[in-house]
Structure 1
């Protein structure tokens, strides 16, 4: 007995838990704030490749974003991505899909993200994360469906030190330098040359984002247990996880925040250690942010408020809204377009990012009112659609 694309879940609107969508919607602001700094060029660069300026407000903004967003937003999104993979497995099994059908769907979906990420990088932003998430989805399709929770957590614990060491070293150079050492395409005025460099940079991106791997695996375990589903029964555990995760993240990011903001100078030779601590605490912070979203969703008034509905609409279309950010930021800031990245400081760039995020929220709300999903989500569902998923073991 088989099911065809006519009965595929792409045709039905499944119940959506509010917590993951609210988390994605809010954290897209953090993604915008993190990504916009990559576009700044013709500035001196310091620790973690942050722009160094002499103004009063710019260092404050740099330090604040380092503590709360830098190396914190992407682990949180990775955890939610893993959570989503686990929920996909659970719902497809409930509908009678075979194990091979479930794994095939996950692989096609991951491949679709890789292709979208490649297009995103080629046209606009080489710091794209979709390709890396998609590749992990392809590689971990079997693990998401078959590995035990214990095995997933053991692998997460084993990969975390590797990520801490690699990312810690990559971003530990304390020298103030005038030449970019990452994302060179942002400063290249020739469009074709910038496009070619974006391809190279996109292939390098995973080395700077290895910490998303353990976060994703933890998210799979959380998704299997549906921890963000029935949040009302988990109010206290979610609050405890949020407080601990966010506190560890902000305190662990404080040394780097003070250093990038110019308030202190780290002891010579300690930069790699503090950079590694920044990455390690960032994973805890990302998980804490996700738990915080779950706890907030235990407050019905917030979920039903206009702000809650707007964030949920944005989170439900997070792929479209993430890509829409680049539609605004790349032409506005890159050297091959208007080139405002050479003239803006970190405070002004953060303002541009916030306004861009607001614009994507407005877009998402308009799509919600029209009863339409995001175009990128529809494209991904089309690409991953099942041709024939066999029911049975």
Structure 2
């Protein structure tokens, strides 16, 4: 039997080694901010009136959205999806598992995402992204450990297939074809007056939309996210500042240039025939890949600046010193469930998820195990090399001097502080301002916030709800989207202050780790 040791051609990139312990701000901030873009796009999708651009405000909103927003958020989330898959594999390996265990865990996440996406798409919104990402994980999980050259070739081939498919669609448009004047004809579920009838239509739409979105829109960026994950571009942005600056400038520049012509036509400020209009729409969508990369790089640069500010001490935040986090973040909340705590091998045994953690002798600092049971660990301790004398922990019968003064009576230090809660173990005391912290809280609970948006939009726009989709214009839909996003920011910040995950994240973890107990939070 051949050895199961991974060969170089399929192994991870050389930079794929355990990284920093503290949770990175960039992935959370990117998800939280780009959910505003998702809200703007989905709210406009619900509009079914014959003329949604009928006033100057509508024209301005349409122009801005098609230039900067539409088609840029989904590619960014796809990049984060691939990035998070690499982090999950890295955590499994760091905790002693192998590729078999990582593949089982990733495929389990893919099935759960596909199921949640089906429920979301059939009941609420057929243009669902969860199912597309879950399907991609199930079909292309082997790419998670592919070499750089394989990833680049795969991304190029998938991008070429997408361009060819879009070009064929443009060529199929009659030159003298007439514009249908609205989006409802292409999405019949939006105009169904009955929830049951709309659900039947959404089932047909979701089954078609999901594989098309996965293959033609998401996959090139997912593969690129795998490469970025091996290089830790978002976890260690300071090590890649030149690359991030170039990506931000070129990505946003290309995104704006490719979106501008379509934005002018859609806003009514320029005219184009049916085939030219279709070609401009395709150019706009393909430019969304560059725009998504540009937004991701820009947010990473901003996060680097905010993270460089002095971090507030535990005393100023009310968090005990023992609650300072020691586990890294995984940008997978929306796309693969919360990865804040331990993952599991195929046997269902809890394993550590901190890729930088080195087991230490029992020390005075108390924290919690994955099952919620307090265990003695010291997150700042690094074992000395073999043969080096290491101070041992004091015992009741034979105390050993550690070289540190022990106050009497004991002060409320790390040795006497209560165990850290789940949220304290996974979220660093915010060094950025309160607005940035609140937006990052949305990113940590992005699955819950994404589903909340669909619930609100269905209630406001659907014919069996308030029915405003038939009467509002682009500006009105944008106002609803912004208000919904702000409400999700407030809700996510309240959950962060209460040390709680989002309800959808808790459900996701229970479905993925159904054989293991879930750590309890107060």
The answer to whether the superposition gives a TM-score over 0.5 is: yes
The separation in 2 between residues aligned to 1:171 and 1:112, in whole angstroms, is 35
Alignment of 1:67-78 (within 5 A): 67-78=67-78
Q: How far apart are 1:338 and its partner, in Å?
A: 1.4
Pick the structure with more helix per residue: 1
- The CA distance in 1 between the partners of 2:169 and 2:24, in whole Å, is 37
Alignment partners' CA distance in 2, 1:18 and 1:97:
27
Q: Contact (CA 8 Å) 2:76, 2:293: kept in 1 or not?
A: yes
Aligned counterpart, 1:163: 162
Q: Which runs of 4+ in 1 moved over 4 A?
A: 167-174
Report if aligned partners of 2:40, 2:478 keep a CA contact under 8 Å in 1.
yes
Deviation at 1:329, TM superposition (A): 0.8
Question: What CA distance in whole angstroms lies between the structure 2 residues aligned with 1:377 and 1:59?
Answer: 38
Aligned residue number for residue 331 of structure 1: 459
Aligned to 1:39: 46
Q: Distance in 2 between matches of 1:17 and 1:224?
A: 15
* Cross-structure match for 2:209: 205
Q: What residue ranges of structure 1 are gaps of 5+ in the alignment?
A: 1-13, 45-50, 389-393
Q: Distance in 2 between matches of 1:315 and 1:39?
A: 24
Is the CA contact 1:169–1:276 (under 8 Å) kept in the aligned structure 2?
no
1:277 paired to 2:283:
yes
Output aligned runs, 1:280-295, within 5 Å.
280-295=286-301
Aligned to 2:315: none
Distance 1:349 1:25 in 2: 20
Q: Which residue of 2 aligns with 1:265?
A: 271
Structure number with larger C-alpha Rg: 2
**Structure 2: tracts of 5 or more residues without a match:** 1-20, 310-429, 517-522
Offset of residue 169 of structure 1: 5.8
CA contact (8 A) 2:143 2:223 kept: no
Instruction: Kindly indicate whether the alpha-carbon contact (under 8 Å) linking 1:110 and 1:134 is maintained by their aligned counterparts in 2.
Output: yes
- Match in the other structure for 1:186: 190
Alpha-carbon separation, structure 1, partners of 2:302 and 2:178: 41
How many corresponding residue pairs? 367
**2:179 corresponds to 1:176:** yes
CA displacement, residues 22-78 of structure 1 (integer Å, 9 cap, x when unaligned): 00000000000011111111324xxxxxx4x32121122112111111211100110
Give runs of aligned pairs for residues 99-178 of structure 1, distance below 5 A.
99-144=99-144, 146-167=145-166, 175-178=178-181
Distance 1:321 1:253, change over 3 A: same
- TM-score between the two structures when normalised by the length of structure 2: 0.67
CA distance in 1, matches of 2:431, 2:121: 34
Question: Residues 312-323 of structure 1 correspond to what in structure 2 (within 5 A)?
Answer: 312-323=440-451
Higher RCO, Cα 8 Å, sep 6+: 1
CA RMSD in angstroms comes to: 2.1
SS in 2 for 1:298: helix
Structure 2 CA distance for partners of 1:349 and 1:303, relative to 1, 3 Å:
farther
Q: Which sits farther off after the overlay, 233-242 or 300-309? A: 300-309
Secondary structure of residue in 1 paired with 2:71: coil
Counterpart contact for 1:258–1:264, Cα < 8 Å: yes
| Contact kept in structure 2, 1:334 and 1:341, CA below 8 Å | yes
2:302 is matched with which residue? 296
Per-residue deviation, 1:280: 2.1
Query: What is the Cα deviation at residue 303 of structure 1?
Result: 5.6
For residues 75-131 of structure 1, what are the alpha-carbon distances to aligned partners after superposition, in whole Å with 9 as ceiling and x for unaligned?
Answer: 011001111111111111111112111001001101111111111122211111100
Q: Any idea what SS the aligned residue of 1:304 has?
A: coil
Classify 1:181/1:162 alpha carbon distance in 2 versus 1 (closer, same or farther; 3 Å).
farther
**Residue 140 (structure 1) shift:** 1.8
Maintained 8 Å contact 1:168/1:279: no
Q: TM-score, normalised by structure 1?
A: 0.88
- Shift of residue 15 of structure 1? 4.2
Q: CA deviation at 1:182?
A: 2.3
Is contact 1:87-1:226 (8 Å) kept? no
1:342-385 alpha-carbon deviations (Å, 9 max, x no partner):
11100010010000001111111111111111111122222222
The answer to whether the Cα contact below 8 Å between 2:254 and 2:287 also exists between their aligned partners in 1 is yes
